[in-house]
Amino acid sequence: MLTETIQPRFNETDALGHINNTVVAAWFEGARDPIFRLFTPDLNPSQWRLILAKFSVEFHAELFYGTPVEIRSHISRIGGSSFDVTQEAWQRGKRCASGVAVLVQYDFTDKSSVPLPEGLKQQLLAV
């Protein structure tokens, strides 16, 4: 499992006084960088090998400014060319949001998915 601590910024709050719901998806994406590096170590966009096929976020409780948020990420499914990253946002010992992103290894020239090599599958299992 990967973990990253986020310090919510004041500008991420909304009129209701908590972290805006659109911010969580961005936090989740940022926490996927270590996974992206398995495919593109230098994160060079011209060498990118992944596409986002689907993502969902479910909210369980409010998140607030002024208290750190821990993002927890792990690989929950590995398929032939795709895999799922399950993520959670925790604040004050409480799970406040969870989500799943489906990523696909992709060839941008051929516009098609590419099978995940066994070695890469093993690296993903270690996440």
- Per-domain residue ranges for the chain? 2-125
* CATH classification (class only), 2-125: alpha beta
Query: Taking the complete model, does pTM exceed 0.85, yes or no?
Result: yes
pLDDT tens for 69-114 read: 999 999 999 999 999 999 999 999 999 999 999 999 999 999 999 9
Query: What single string gives the DSSP state of each residue in the chain?
Result: -EEEEE---GGGB-TTSSB-HHHHHHHHHHHTHHHHHHH-TT--GGG--EEEEEEEEEE-S---TTS-EEEEEEEEEE-SSEEEEEEEEEETTEEEEEEEEEEEEEETTTTEE-PPPHHHHHHHHT-
Of 15-19, 21-25, 112-116, the poorest mean pLDDT is in 15-19
